[in-house]
Structure 1
Amino acid sequence: MVMQACPYPVTDLLPHSGRMVLLDRVSGFTDAAIEADLRVRSDNIFFERGQGVAAHIAIEWMAQACGAFVGLEARRQNLPVRIGFLLGTRNFSATRAWFREGEQLVVRAELVFRDGETGVFDCTLRGADVLARAQLTLHQPVDLAAVLISQGIDLTKLDRQ
């Protein structure tokens, strides 16, 4: 299936803000997949001088691509973008320990399974070749407050910026 251009900036598709948005843009999507671009920069909050960004941060890049996928679905249905949670990562592998400053990377997330509020995505990170892969399980509760309360979080003490 041919990828469609995304009409929204990635910041409109994720509930993250500021420097926690680690993707630069969504480069394309279908009903079952999304691709997002990023450049490894020294102003990335996970950047380590002299090394770059550690390979395990690819899991967050992948999770944000999954978040952008469901955020795009919400925007296309005129619904608000909601918070989601990474429940698990299976079979993560990376071909190297660090990604260097200036590298241009593409994250792809393909929906494998969805059951209500939970979804499973096969994800890859590419440069010239596949650099990392994993399968992520994510949960996006309809009633976030109920989930937080069930975990003993006092909603009156949350920062509501």
Structure 2
Amino acid sequence: MDDTAPSIAPRPPVEHFVPHRGAMSLLSRLVTIDAEQALAEVDITPTSMFVQGQGVPAWVGIEYMAQTVAAWAGARSRAAGGEPAIGFLLGSRRYQAEVPVFATGQTLRIHARCELIGDSGLGQFACRIHGPAHRLLAEAMVSVFEPPMPPSSATSDSREA
């Protein structure tokens, strides 16, 4: 197991691991993060972003998955002494939703497991969303890209002594 992303206990707030802020921070809390995977929860409330009618359209699940991946990447960055970085959702394969809407009042559990991650910043994650009674509500393979961080000015500064 890789030491760069230890499990969290006690759990810091979501904002400690993702660059998303305000209304665009969709995760309610992180449950666990380790070297291979992350588990987050989303409470669907009447004030949740994207609520329409009886809940949140299931297509928003892809963003819940992407933000869970971002939390995983942010934990790795924090463990290495860095800050969470902005990443990009490149797409998904086989996003399959078993319901049209995530109903108001539900708590969703989003699981993202790293299938591969390259030095280039490209990664692929197997993601699932479960609802009440552990019912599978959606799943997909999610592809992401985190651009390499440019060298900091402190390391690229060439001052003469």
- TM-score bin (small chain): 0.7 to 0.9
Which protein has the larger Cα radius of gyration, Structure 1 or Structure 2? Answer: 2
Q: What is the aligned length?
A: 142
Cα RMSD, aligned residues only = 1.7
Separation in structure 2 between the aligned mates of residue 76 and residue 5 of structure 1, nearest angstrom: 11
Query: Residue 62 of structure 1: SS of its match in structure 2?
Result: helix
User: 1:24 & 1:123 partners in 2: Cα distance?
Assistant: 17
Q: What is the CA–CA distance in structure 2 between the aligned matches of 1:57 and 1:73, rounded to whole Å?
A: 25
User: Aligned runs of 1:1-161 on 2, under 5 Å?
Assistant: 4-6=7-9, 7-48=11-52, 50-116=53-119, 117-127=121-131, 128=133, 129-143=135-149
Structure 2 gaps of 5+ residues are: 151-161
Unaligned runs of 5+ in 1: 145-161
Preserved contact between residue 33 and residue 75 of structure 2 (Cα < 8 Å): no
Alignment identity in percent? Answer: 32
Work out the CA distance in 1 between the residues paired with 2:12 and 2:68: 14
Q: CA deviation at 1:30?
A: 2.0
CA positional deviation for 1:80 = 1.4
Contact 2:17 2:71 in 1 (8 A): yes
Q: Could you give the per-residue CA deviations for residues 108-149 of structure 1, whole angstroms, max 9, x where no partner exists?
A: 0000011121110000000121110000000000258xxxxx
How does the TM-score come out when normalised to structure 1?
0.83
